[in-house]
Amino acid sequence: MLRCERCRRPLRPRPAPAVVRRQCARRPGVAPNGARQGASRARRGMRYARCAAAVQGHACRQERFGRESRAQEPPPRGLRGIRAGADHSRERRPPPAAAVSAPAGTAADEPRFSDVAERADDERRGAVVAALRSALPAGTVLAEDNDVAPYECDGLANFRELPVAVVLPASTREVAAALAVCYRLGVPVVARGAGTGLSGGAMPHASGVVLSLARLNRILDLDPLAGIARVEPGVRNLAISEAAAPFGLYYAPDPSSQIACTIGGNVAENAGGVHCLKYGLTLHNVLRVRGLTIDGEPVEFGSHALDAPGLDLLAVLIGSEGLLAVITEVSVRLLPRPALARVVMASFADVGHAGDAVAAIIAAGLIPAGLEMMDQRATAAVEPFVRAGYDLTAAALLLAESDGTPEEVEVEITHLEQLLREHGASATSVSRTEAERLRFWSGRKNAFPAAGRISPDYYCMDGTIPRKHLGRVLEEIAALEGRLGLRCMNVFHAGDGNLHPLILFDANEPDQWARAERFGAAIVELCVALGGTITGEHGVGIEKLNSMCVQFTAGERAAFFAVKRAFDPPGLLNPGKLIPTLHRCAEYGRMHVHGGALPFADLPRF
Ligand SMILES: Cc1cc2nc3c(=O)[nH]c(=O)nc-3n(C[C@H](O)[C@H](O)[C@H](O)COP(=O)(O)OP(=O)(O)OC[C@H]3O[C@@H](n4cnc5c(N)ncnc54)[C@H](O)[C@@H]3O)c2cc1C
């Protein structure tokens, strides 16, 4: 059988006149494309779809979700905690027979992504699949290339890999059974929610297993008096608010992907959203997380009470991108739905002034429920699509929402309008009805898909800066557009200083993806230089491993590895993601892109 020379997947010739290539899209020098748009995908299909991985799965298809239902299964018994008071009497399982590598001591010893990127040979794959199938109910383990292809990437479709198998457990017991096999055989495991992540966090390892939590989608308990919902990890973010709505409650963090993304993925990424300025990120709205470590130990972090004995490790787990434990249950805080919400929409002739207005609003002591900005390119892309009524002559639009009682909203909206005008707004309008409020937001919420209307491909970046530098960063991004010959549209959670530049490119044009990557790296490094961070909410995954070298010192990265080792001694949970090795950082230091310019750009890099 012909195999792709690079990834060793079976090549499947297409009907004549297709030409069978001997390399797949991952070959050096050809962008495997990060398209999220159909037209581009179709074109890419013509050019690159020659290995079995690509036969079905150019689009990284979302998993299908089951219907959420209430409390069908009791919580796992005998949960043991890392916290004091937990029962630590049970012996840990013996160490795995063939772990990827047992990290020892220093960050330099840690497994690199390439160690687990090698495709396992057929004998090994057969052994892993057989062991999983014998431990789990029929139909729970997918292993054919065509069946696992929909899981080959997350929302960052530039990076793809076919796993050995995909496991679809329907209960915590089945999650534990799958982990036991992987631990015993030393197989890397990637937990997966809905796969909407934008940093490659849920991308599989070629030698590993994807553990999809999508079937664990039950709302186990909803206590309106306590304002707490206890849910399984595969419950969609929006489904929590839908279940709480009859009680006048909702779950506040609202990523734009909330219709699809899961609460497990939200916890793993510490997801944010439009309303997180006032109500906090996932971290601030999750009370307790239960999960399993790679050796099957049940762990529990946080509590339904305001405090609990022992070390508070909840914040360590939230945002840990599947590297420490597999989340099997989440308890979230529910808030009373505000009686009223209204939005002020303000036009600015200059993005710098819009940035200054954001800083002025916060400095005045106001915390709007949402404070978002879109530049002219973004409004031009969304307006014909959603007809939100945006001012297309404005260089930047600000949306500021106020919520609360009608009296509170009236006072705050008046104050917001006044501040916006004082800081250069050329026009303001206030939503008069709920329908109009939703229409104002519809453009912002649909900005990512709308990018597909003006460019074959786009690359969404995510960095944070102190709010006072908003204007400066936008000027630098404009300069980078000129230097790198690519356009960028800017949409962001302005109140949080969380940027989402969407870099527009065409993956079918040679070199454009490489330039888009350099553009993105330059933006996040600018964020670091201005006192910000390389990610606000999309996480590090594999996308920002290099940028981690810029943000954190070798000592800090070694500390991150030490935390990972404490939870996952064999290094099997999502290895090679989030924390770069010393080796990688040394390499990156030598090739460092500064201000969007790569030294010796003419030299080939592999
Ligand atoms: C159009 C669009 C808009 C978006 N808007 C936002 C936004 O406004 N704010 C925002 O924060 N993000 C946003 N995102 C990114 C993404 O939706 C979030 O990161 C979300 O939290 C991912 O959830 P998921 O269920 O899809 O997780 P996945 O993508 O499946 O996984 C993400 C990470 O979590 C880990 N993980 C998943 N489930 C578990 C589990 N049960 N246990 C342990 N680890 C687990 C995975 O290993 C991976 O590292 C957007 C994405 C898209 C495509």
More confident residue, 30 or 499: 499
**Nearest one of 122, 185, 197 to 156, comparing CA atoms:** 197
d(CA 549, CA 555): 11
CB of 253 shorter than 6 A to ligand 1: no
Higher pLDDT, 562 or 70: 562
Q: Which atom of ligand 1 is nearest to the CA of 281?
A: 11
pTM, whole model, 2 decimals?
Answer: 0.82
Q: Ligand 1, residues 192, 266, 382: which to mutate, most atoms within 8 A of Cβ?
A: 192
Give pLDDT tens digits for 378-414.
999 999 989 999 999 999 999 999 999 999 999 999 9
Q: What does the pLDDT read at residue 178?
A: 98
Please indicate whether residue 254, judged by its CB atom, sits closer than 6 Å to ligand 1: no
In DSSP terms, which residues pair with 401 in a beta bridge? 343, 370
Q: Which tens digits make up the pLDDT trace of 276-317?
A: 999 999 999 999 999 999 999 999 999 999 887 888 999 999
Tell me, using a 6 A CB cutoff, whether residue 274 lines ligand 1. Answer: no
Ligand 1 atom having least distance to the Cα of 321: 49
pLDDT, residue 584, reads 84
Is the C-beta atom of 296 inside 6 A of ligand 1? no
Residue nearest to atom 53 of ligand 1 (CA): 196
CA 255–ligand 1 middle distance (angstroms): 9
User: 461 C-alpha vs ligand 1 centroid, how far in Å?
Assistant: 14
Task: Report the percent of the chain where pLDDT is more than 70.
Answer: 78
Average pLDDT, the chain: 82
Residues 6+ apart with CB under 8 A from 301: 81, 82, 83, 288, 289, 290, 291, 312, 313, 314, 316, 317
Mutate to test the pocket of ligand 1, among 196, 327, 372, 385 (most ligand atoms within 8 A of CB): 196
Distance 196 CA to ligand 1 centre (A): 5
| Distance from the Cα of residue 365 to its chain's centroid | 31
Give tens-digit pLDDT for 546-572: 999 999 999 999 999 999 999 999 999
pLDDT given for residue 510 in this prediction = 82
Residue pLDDT, tens place only, 470-485: 888 988 999 999 999 9
Mean pLDDT of 133-154: 97
Residue 591 CB neighbour total at 10 angstroms? 12
